[in-house]
């Protein structure tokens, strides 16, 4: 069965890579900058040709191919192009191959951030690689850097922790002169897992020749086996815990795993099939108790569908270390406020995938360093799910009959008289039925 499964997976991958892209029935493209042309063909190859300098973008959404970015699987910069512009290929996550022409002399800031490449050969003659050029390229494992490189920017490879082999065309002494001190911080492969081969030739890179091992990666406390409980456990490299106030805390160092919708197939006693679908994130069983999210400093990425449909999640506290929020992470949440430890400019540099409208629409509070603020009161929301409806009225009735019933008493006091009574239940029921009343 395993062999059959692998064969099917291989066939599906081949079909995806070889068949024309959905939604792209013909070649598209245009001119941009001064003397440059771009085309995207049916197989997903984006080609930039012409002669001259590709302009730098000053923010995301600056490239002429942004609307078809998700369809790009290969990037080809032809001979004649002298510069790869800043941010131009940022977040081309489906691009698995990049070819650079011999005339490329510089690579701009964040030019290939978040691409899906696994290897990269930089051309002889390249002199400058700007800040963050290859940040969070999670599949990147091997790169050739020619001796011609004279400037290496700030944290060029930050977060690309699978980078294991660097082939540098000059000496160790010269390499050390290029590396900035900040490149050795946590989550930079230059201070962790990357090995380097000095005086490397292009053939060394092509042959996958041995490299000098890098520094031993720093220990990640979350990788130690924690005690698993209903309210805490491991989440890949990270650790999660739900506290008594309903705050989901994510801690550790590195990128969060991706999560998906899984479907289990069942058959009842009559042989009738029924499917059960659920999210694969490890906090699923406590998701109805989550009111807020706190991601600790050191976490660099929030994974695919990580908090999807956790409707009670109204507040998120996010660290400055965060670099990417993947597809659907906050889809279906009740998120209204985000308290971010970095600046407005830092926030702009965070990659934010599709299907994250609650995150896009939330109020962002920048440079946040304080304690958790008091949650805003929502009169009538007795069950704390972010909505006021008939369920809240019924919960109040249960509370009146049994005071041990779990309830948000402050919100349940819909009329503001400092007590929870039938009057509150009636007011909420009228509001839910469309009457012209308003919980106070």
Residue 192 pLDDT grade (very low, low, confident, very high; cuts 50, 70, 90): low
Whole-number pLDDT of residue 191: 61
Statement: residue 357 has pLDDT above 60: yes
Whole-number pLDDT of residue 14: 44
What's the chain's average pLDDT?
83
Phi, psi of 432, rounded to the nearest 5 degrees: -65, -30
What value does the mean pLDDT take over residues 405-417? 79
Whole-number pLDDT of residue 59: 60
CA pair distance 192, 372, nearest whole angstrom: 33
Cβ atoms of 332 and 309 closer than 8 Å: yes
93-146 pLDDT tens trace: 899 999 999 999 999 999 999 899 999 999 999 999 998 899 889 889 999 999
Strand partners, 76: 47, 99
Whole-number pLDDT of residue 440: 62
36-63 pLDDT tens trace: 999 999 999 999 999 999 998 876 568 9
Distances (CA, A) of 59 to 68, 126, 155, 379: 17, 24, 19, 41
Alpha helices for 208-330 (secondary structure H): none
Q: Give me the domains of the chain, ranges plus CATH numbers.
A: 20-207 (3.80.10.10), 230-365 (3.80.10), 377-440 (1.10.1330.10)
Residue with the two structure tokens 């109020």? 363
Residue 439 pLDDT grade (very low, low, confident, very high; cuts 50, 70, 90): low
């Amino acid at each position: 069965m395993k062999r059959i499964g692998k064969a099917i997976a291989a066939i599906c991958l081949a079909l995806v890579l070889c068949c024309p892209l959905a939604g792209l029935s013909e070649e598209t493209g245009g001119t941009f900058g001064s003397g440059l042309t771009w085309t995207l063909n049916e197989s997903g190859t984006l080609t930039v040709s012409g002669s001259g300098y590709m302009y730098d973008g000053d923010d995301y959404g600056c490239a002429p191919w942004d609307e078809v970015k998700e369809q790009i699987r290969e990037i080809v910069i032809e001979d004649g192009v002298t510069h790869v512009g800043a941010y131009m290929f940022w977040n081309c996550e489906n691009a698995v191959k990049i070819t650079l022409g011999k005339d490329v002399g510089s690579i701009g800031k964040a030019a290939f951030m978040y691409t899906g490449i696994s290897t990269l050969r930089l051309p002889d003659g390249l002199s400058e690689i700007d800040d963050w050029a290859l940040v969070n390229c999670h599949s990147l494992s091997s790169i050739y850097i020619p001796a011609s490189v004279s400037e290496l920017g700030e944290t060029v490879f930050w977060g690309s922790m699978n980078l294991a082999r660097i082939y540098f065309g000059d000496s160790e002494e010269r390499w050390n002169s290029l590396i900035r001190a900040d490149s050795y911080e946590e989550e930079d492969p230059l201070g962790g897992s990357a090995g380097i081969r000095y005086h490397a030739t292009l053939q060394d890179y092509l042959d996958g020749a041995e490299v000098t091992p890098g520094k031993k990666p720093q220990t990640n406390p979350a990788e130690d086996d924690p005690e698993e409980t209903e309210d805490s456990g491991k989440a890949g490299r990270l650790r999660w815990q739900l506290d008594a106030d309903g705050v989901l805390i994510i801690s550790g160092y590195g990128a969060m795993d991706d999560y998906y919708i899984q479907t289990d197939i069942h058959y009842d006693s009559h042989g009738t099939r029924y499917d059960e679908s659920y999210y694969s994130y490890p906090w699923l069983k406590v998701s109805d108790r989550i009111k807020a999210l706190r991601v600790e400093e050191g976490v660099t990425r929030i994974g695919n569908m990580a908090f999807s449909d956790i409707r009670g999640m109204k507040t998120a506290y996010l660290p400055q270390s965060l670099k990417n929020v993947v597809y659907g992470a906050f889809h279906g949440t009740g998120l209204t406020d985000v308290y971010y430890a970095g600046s407005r400019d830092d926030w702009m540099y965070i990659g934010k995938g599709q299907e994250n409208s609650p995150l896009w629409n939330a109020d962002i509070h920048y440079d946040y360093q304080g304690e958790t603020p008091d949650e805003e009161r929502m009169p009538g929301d007795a069950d704390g799910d972010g909505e006021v409806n008939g369920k809240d009225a019924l919960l109040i009735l249960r509370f009146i009959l049994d005071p041990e019933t779990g309830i948000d008493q402050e919100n349940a006091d819909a009329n503001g008289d400092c007590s929870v009574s039938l009057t509150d239940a009636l007011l909420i029921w009228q509001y839910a039925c469309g009457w012209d009343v308003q919980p106070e």
